[in-house]
Structure 1
Amino acid sequence: MMIFRNHGLVFQEGGLPEKAKLTYIVRGKKMLVGYKSGSGISCSCCKTVLSPSQFEAHAGWASRRKPYEHIYTSNGMSLHEYAVSLKKKENRTRPVKNNNDVCRVCKKGGDLLLCDTCPRSFHRECAREPSIRRGKWQCKYCQRSLKVKGKSADSLAAGGATGNEPVARRSGMKPVENIVLGACVLCSCHEFSKNGFNNQTVIVCDQCEKEYHIGCLRKHNMADLKKLPKGDWFCRNDCKRINSLLKNLLSLEPETLSDDMLTFWRERLRKNNKSESDSNLDMKFVLLRGKSAARKSKKLLAQTVKIFHEGFDPIIDSTSGRDFIPSMVYGRKIWSQDFAGMLCAMLTIDSKVVTAGTLRVFDEDIAELPIVATRKSNQGKGYFQLLFTCIEKVLSSLKIKNIVLPAADDARSMWTQRFGFEMIAPDQLNELRQSCPAIMTFQGTSLLQKELVKAA
């Protein structure tokens, strides 16, 4: 656990703005709301100004004794993470000194290598570093953020890494610790060169997000690149095909749901003794890419973020302190994870989002659906089943073979029984994580898979 003694920065000048909203959250539930008032928190229920510890006790969790880790700002950042970000700004011109006192990989202490760019620490063997040169040292997560990607030598590549280390509190799920490092899919080696263009230069496919050494591409007769290509680069014709078809789909207007689909939906509601009062709903399926969405579509993305925050605690990147949810929806980049390829699939009624999911298509073999949620007032009405039918239709049109998603233990039976998913076998799961490390995973969940198109 990080040794950090600068929590007081939150309530000092230059910290949280006055009257900033603060919420004590436990297992996805909002226990108590207050507002920053001077050096304390003004409780919304009793109007008393309390210290963070008193605020935690007032929320009924005095025994926890971790107020700064469970009190969140309105943008989904815990007070601890907010304090870390303030400290980083204070030390912007100096190396990070507040490194973790346990190894990032094995979680044990001892003789550790301290990254000079981020707070992570490693044993030499866990970092796979047989020798360390004198001077500054960067861990592989930080090195990856300096990789060259596609468009120019000055570009920074996320490379599809799962070194994002989000903290997922999805309805009580345990924090995730993604420690798998990306590698060339042809040689499985992590090493790369960021000095000029050579065989060890890494290039990333702009569709499937797989990484390749320039030399490995040449060795396997996949591409004989003499320099980094301008614009998008695709490792295979299938990736180019999928990318082109997705662009066409994203250019279309929202699709009004067919009468056949709505008739089936209403019939299912009747069988479950439920009804929809309005028989003339203007229900549409919307597919957007947040990064390139038109201004008129931004309000739908904002509604989607709100719906996700209704259902999930913030998913925080431990390095930047930013919430993953808006970044996934808007297609932004956080540290080493780039969500530019993430799509938002939504079901709207009268231009209001009722249910949504983040969707990412990698290649012809796999697509993922990492987060889904329905507006609380619209739950239990079968809207997500309609949305999932639309998503399946899109993926089938692209000839995508499988879709995967992370499911909590208490939701696994719903996905397997109602939507036709199944558990992924351990050997297949290991192979999937090696070939597609960008897939979002959360500790406390199981990756499920559904076959969409039968393999030839």
Structure 2
Amino acid sequence: MICEQCEREFHVGCLRKKMNNDLRALPEHKWFCGAQCKKIHSTLQTFVAKGDLELPETVGKILKKKFKGKASKPSQTYSNMKWRILKPNSNSEDNGALLTRVKTILEEQFPELALRKVDGSLDERLIHTMVFGEKIDRHDFFGMHSAVLMIKSEIVCVGIFRVFGEEVAELPLVATEKDNEKKGYCKALLLCMEDLLSTLQVKTLILPSASSMKAMWKRKFWFKNLKKKQLEKYTDNYQKIMPFEDTIVLHKLIHKS
């Protein structure tokens, strides 16, 4: 059995012994390993269905500080800013177009990103596959969501993430649209995502970083090195965590809301 949210695999015998779950037949609908995973899944679906979302108050304060003393009026910039959670196969009419824009921004910022397959070959469809929740080689990205920050309906920053239950969420890729770099939008989007993860009661956010970017993630976004033993624990429990070659995995504890 595979949990719809954390994507961990469970043997039916183990469910009976350790979790008091006397499963006698395959469930007809989605199956969750526990109440928390079911709640996380339901809450994410609710956020996707809401469409455009107001930014949390903490984000507004940071943006006002960022724009202080600049020509742009912070009140105007902030009032035109929304954020949104996207999921492939959503019923929203503009979902496909927005995901395509997410894919374009990520491909512009990571033009050489590819996945090394089992046979050693490289597949350049990695970003498309992640954004649209598809499968490539042994990697299944069904649980991926996209988070986007928008100004007047134009996407300025994007991130793709996956929540593995309450223990950990991963953020494999995040990027700002080239014409909108160095304006604080990446920090704004990450704060929105952290607010969401706090609502979901997720404990930790992890991300892969190139060595050249590690100091930036630590200084500006308060990430820390993830110890090897802890990473091994995560990858043992959640085998779909995305590995990237030549990266360092960082982590950040999520404050409870």
Q: Could you tell me the TM-score, scaled by structure 1's length?
A: 0.52
Aligned partners of 1:221, 1:256: CA distance in 2, in Å? 39
- Alignment partner of 2:12 out of 214, 230, 235: 214
Counterpart in the other structure of 2:41: 243
Matched, 1:308 2:106: yes
Matched, 1:286 2:88: no
Pairwise CA distance, 1:249: 1.5
**Preserved contact between residue 6 and residue 37 of structure 2 (Cα < 8 Å):** yes
Counterpart in the other structure of 1:406: 208
Aligned partners of 1:317, 1:371: CA distance in 2, in Å? 17
**Preserved contact between residue 289 and residue 344 of structure 1 (Cα < 8 Å):** yes
Counterpart in the other structure of 1:191: none
| RMSD across aligned positions (CA) | 2.1
**Preserved contact between residue 355 and residue 373 of structure 1 (Cα < 8 Å):** yes
**Preserved contact between residue 422 and residue 449 of structure 1 (Cα < 8 Å):** yes
Gap change, CA 1:416 and 1:259, over 3 Å in 2: closer
Gap change, CA 1:300 and 1:213, over 3 Å in 2: same
Gap change, CA 1:448 and 1:339, over 3 Å in 2: same
The alignment partner of 1:346 has SS state of: strand
The alignment partner of 2:189 has SS state of: helix
Aligned partners of 1:416, 1:291: CA distance in 2, in Å? 35
Aligned partners of 1:317, 1:226: CA distance in 2, in Å? 39
The alignment partner of 1:290 has SS state of: coil
Aligned partners of 1:285, 1:410: CA distance in 2, in Å? 29
Gap regions ≥5 residues in structure 1: 1-202
Aligned partners of 1:252, 1:310: CA distance in 2, in Å? 28
The letter of the residue matching 1:345 is A
Pairwise CA distance, 1:229: 1.1
**Preserved contact between residue 133 and residue 141 of structure 2 (Cα < 8 Å):** yes
With a CA cutoff of 8 Å and minimum separation of 6, indicate the structure with the bigger relative contact order: 2
Aligned partners of 1:253, 1:371: CA distance in 2, in Å? 21
Aligned partners of 1:304, 1:406: CA distance in 2, in Å? 19
Pairwise CA distance, 1:256: 3.0
Give structure 1 regions of 4+ aligned residues with deviation exceeding 6 angstroms: none
Matches of residues 260-409 of structure 1 in structure 2 within 5 Å? 261-270=59-68, 276=72, 280-281=76-77, 282-292=80-90, 294-312=92-110, 313-316=112-115, 318=117, 321=123, 323-409=125-211
The alignment partner of 2:244 has SS state of: coil
Gap change, CA 1:275 and 1:335, over 3 Å in 2: farther
The letter of the residue matching 1:315 is A
**Preserved contact between residue 357 and residue 373 of structure 1 (Cα < 8 Å):** yes
Pairwise CA distance, 1:222: 3.9
Deviations along 1:206-237, one digit per CA (max 9) or x if unpaired, are 10000112222223244222221111111111
Gap change, CA 1:321 and 1:444, over 3 Å in 2: closer
Counterpart in the other structure of 1:433: 235
The letter of the residue matching 1:334 is I
**Preserved contact between residue 171 and residue 205 of structure 2 (Cα < 8 Å):** yes
Q: Identity over the aligned pairs, expressed in percent?
A: 36
Gap change, CA 1:223 and 1:275, over 3 Å in 2: farther
**Preserved contact between residue 48 and residue 86 of structure 2 (Cα < 8 Å):** yes
Larger Rg: 1
Counterpart in the other structure of 1:42: none
Aligned partners of 1:324, 1:330: CA distance in 2, in Å? 10
Aligned partners of 1:209, 1:317: CA distance in 2, in Å? 22
Q: Which moved more, 1:305-314 or 1:261-270?
A: 261-270
**Preserved contact between residue 291 and residue 331 of structure 1 (Cα < 8 Å):** no
Deviations along 1:302-354, one digit per CA (max 9) or x if unpaired, are 11111101111242453694511111111222233222211000001111111
Aligned partners of 1:341, 1:208: CA distance in 2, in Å? 9
Structure (1/2) with the larger helix percentage:
2
Counterpart in the other structure of 2:218: 416
The alignment partner of 2:106 has SS state of: helix
Gap regions ≥5 residues in structure 2: none
Gap change, CA 1:218 and 1:275, over 3 Å in 2: farther
Aligned partners of 1:340, 1:401: CA distance in 2, in Å? 22
Gap change, CA 1:291 and 1:339, over 3 Å in 2: farther
Aligned partners of 1:373, 1:343: CA distance in 2, in Å? 15
Pairwise CA distance, 1:422: 0.9
Matches of residues 62-211 of structure 1 in structure 2 within 5 Å? 203-211=1-9
**Preserved contact between residue 354 and residue 383 of structure 1 (Cα < 8 Å):** yes
Aligned partners of 1:221, 1:277: CA distance in 2, in Å? 55
Gap change, CA 1:327 and 1:342, over 3 Å in 2: same
Q: Could you tell me the TM-score, scaled by structure 2's length?
A: 0.89
Tell me the number of residue pairs that the alignment of Structure 1 and Structure 2 aligns.
250
Pairwise CA distance, 1:425: 1.3
Pairwise CA distance, 1:448: 0.8
The letter of the residue matching 1:256 is E
